[in-house]
Amino acid sequence: MKIDQIKVHLLSCPVDDSIDWRSATGRPVKRDSVLVEIRTDEGLVGFGEAHHCLCPPAVEKIITSAYAPHLTGKDPTKIQDCLAPLFRMTYMLGASGAPIAAISAIDTALWDITGKAAGLPVYKLLGGSADKVRAYAGGWGLGWKEKSKLVEEAQEMLSYGYKALKVRVGLGFKRDLEVVEAIRSAVGDDVDILTDAAGSYDRTQARYVIEGLRDLGVYWLEEPLPAADLDGLIELSRARKLRIAYGESLFTHNAFHRPIKEQGIDVVQPDACKCGGILESRLIAIMAESAKIKFVPHIVGNAVATAANLQVLGSVRNGVYAEIDLPRTARLRESLLINPPNFIPENGEIKIPDGPGLGIEVNTEAFAEFPYIEGSCYKV
């Protein structure tokens, strides 16, 4: 079996005005998806997804101009052989951002083909046996808005079956604590509350807010500091006052080596669509497990991205949660799948898709409904 053709599909889904969500990242105006389709001479087709990196055409160009010529004619099941020359090219293209996200999509598509050829889901090919995982309500939920609206939204999440939810903080540490306290009062002590500052605090603010969040029984604080302040993140984690989660902005396992080695991270959050692919994400999880660190991948709420990260979760032993968008904020995810898996948790858990490959069937006819929209996907 040989790789015959590589296509890139840029898709956009406008954000409905009814989705009132904002965080330190900004307010989303559309949801972008960069899908890679790899076809073989035997008719098998694999799909992968790259994080858009705020400029989908840049990711597309790297794939079609730099990477695709090195893949045509190769055996798609020899995944590391396929990827080795691409990783070597990142010495010039850059070893983070769009070049690594592009490799991530190719890696995922190759695993999709390999799983289909073997008749097994990827997580079983990788030796995994966890067929379900706890889910938390993440994505575009519980953003910056009035406390009363956040309380209503949190209660809506519980009605869907979630037993854990993520609150976006970073608007001001005093306000943040008031919001989390209101949500804690509304949902009770049996619900895990996770918080995400998206790098909004400085070190002094982070130390202050950590004390308050700990008193409220918060499970973790995600990205309290900018990703570039690795020294500060390690310092906060090693203080052992509250779990510190980060990693969605780190690329390849090399970037995780120092925080894991120095016990400077409590929860690793690579994204298989950003960090280098399924194999890289799983390697990061295994590195973390050796240091008794939890693994919870960052998941952008699109169809292939969600399936890829779930396959990684099913293959490891230290996976704790899957980040899952509510259906009303994940139109692109639902529309691009034929007979989509149930992404609504039952008793707080969702099943890992267990069909061959990624366990999903992509609806290519739906691509025409979501033409790419130029411009940034966020208003800051």
Domain of 149: which CATH number? 3.20.20.120
- State residue 328's pLDDT score: 73
Does 94 share its domain with 134?
no
Residue 378: which of 10, 15, 11 has the closest Cα?
15
Question: 145 and 61, same structural domain?
Answer: no
Whichever domain contains 64, its CATH number is: 3.30.390.10
Instruction: Tell me the C-alpha distance between 81 and 62, whole Å.
Output: 19
For the chain, the domain total comes to 2
* β-bridge pairing 164-168 and 192-196: parallel
| Ranges of H-type helices in the chain | 56-61, 79-93, 98-118, 122-125, 147-160, 173-187, 203-215, 230-238, 257-261, 278-290, 303-315, 331-335
**277 and 227 share one domain:** yes
Tokens standing for 267? 């929860």
Q: Per the domain annotation, does 339 fall within a domain?
A: yes
Those residues of the chain that have pLDDT short of 50 are: none
For residue 356, the SS3 value is coil
Rounded to an integer, what distance in angstroms lies between the CA atom of residue 190 and that of residue 188? 6
- Placement of tokens 């016990």 in the chain: 263
> What was the pLDDT predicted at 65?
96
- Are 183 and 45 within one domain? no
Q: Is residue 376 part of a domain?
A: no
164 in the same domain as 42: no
What is the length of the chain? Answer: 380
Asked if 288 contacts 312 with a C-beta cutoff of 8 angstroms, the reply is no
Burial 164-173 (b: 16+ CB within 10 A, else e): bbbbbbbbeb
Is 99 inside a domain boundary?
yes
* Residue range of the domain that includes 257: 123-364
Tens of pLDDT, residues 124-137: 999 998 899 999 98
Buried b (16+ CB within 10 A) or exposed e, 290-321: eeebbbbbbbbbbbbbbbbbbbbbbbbebbbb
Is the full-model pTM beyond 0.85? Answer: yes
* pLDDT computed for residue 124 by the predictor: 96
Of 301, 299, 270, the residue nearest 32 (C-alpha): 301
User: How far apart are alpha carbons 282 and 308 in whole angstroms?
Assistant: 11
Is the Cβ–Cβ distance between 269 and 138 less than 8 Å? no
User: Is residue 155 located within the same domain as residue 237?
Assistant: yes
SS3 145: coil
Residues 137 and 220 in one domain: yes
Residues 136 and 278 both lie in one domain: yes
Q: Do residues 146 and 82 both lie within one domain?
A: no
Output the pLDDT for position 305: 94
Give the pLDDT score at 79.
Answer: 97
Query: What local confidence, expressed as pLDDT, does residue 259 receive?
Result: 92
Q: What is the pLDDT of residue 333?
A: 84
CA distance 361 to 16: 26
Q: What is the pLDDT of residue 325?
A: 84
